A = this chain, B = another copy of it.
Amino acid sequence: MGEAAAIRGEATRRRLLEAAVPLIGEAGWHAVTTRMVAQRAGVAPGVVHYHFASVTDLLIAASAGFTRAMLDRFVRELAERPDLDAGLDWMLAEMARYDGADPASLLVAETYLAASRIPRLRDEFAELVADFRARLAGWLADHGAADPEAAATVLGAAVDGLILHRGLDPRLDLAALARPLRSMLRKE
Query: Which residues of A approach B to under 8 Å, CB–CB?
Result: 28-31, 100-101, 106, 109-110, 112-113, 115-117, 122, 125-126, 129-130, 146-147, 149-151, 153-154, 156-162, 164-165, 167-169, 172, 176-177, 179-181, 183-186
Chain B residues whose C-beta falls within 8 Å of the C-beta of A165 in the assembled complex: 129, 153, 156-157, 160
Pick the contact of A184: B110, B117, B181 (CB < 8 A). B181
Residue of A28, A168, A169 contacting most chain B CB atoms (<10 Å): A168
A122 touching B168 in the complex, CB below 8 Å, given contacts A109-B113, A113-B106, A184-B184: yes
Taking the closest CB of chain B, its distance from the CB of A145, in whole angstroms, is 9
Pick the contact of A112: B146, B164, B186 (CB < 8 A). B164
A116 touching B106 in the complex, CB below 8 Å, given contacts A154-B177, A180-B154: yes
The answer to whether B180 and A151 touch across the interface, beta carbons within 8 angstroms, is yes
How long is the Cα–Cα vector from A29 to B179 in the complex, in angstroms? 37
How long is the Cα–Cα vector from A29 to B162 in the complex, in angstroms? 22
Pick the contact of A161: B130, B151, B156 (CB < 8 A). B156
The answer to whether A112 and B109 touch across the interface, beta carbons within 8 angstroms, is yes
Minimal Cβ-Cβ distance residue in B for A100? B116
Minimal Cβ-Cβ distance residue in B for A115? B168
The answer to whether A130 and B164 touch across the interface, beta carbons within 8 angstroms, is no
Chain B residues whose C-beta falls within 8 Å of the C-beta of A151 in the assembled complex: 180
A147 touching B179 in the complex, CB below 8 Å, given contacts A106-B113, A156-B161: yes
Chain B residues whose C-beta falls within 8 Å of the C-beta of A125 in the assembled complex: 168
The answer to whether B146 and A180 touch across the interface, beta carbons within 8 angstroms, is yes
Minimal Cβ-Cβ distance residue in B for A26? B117
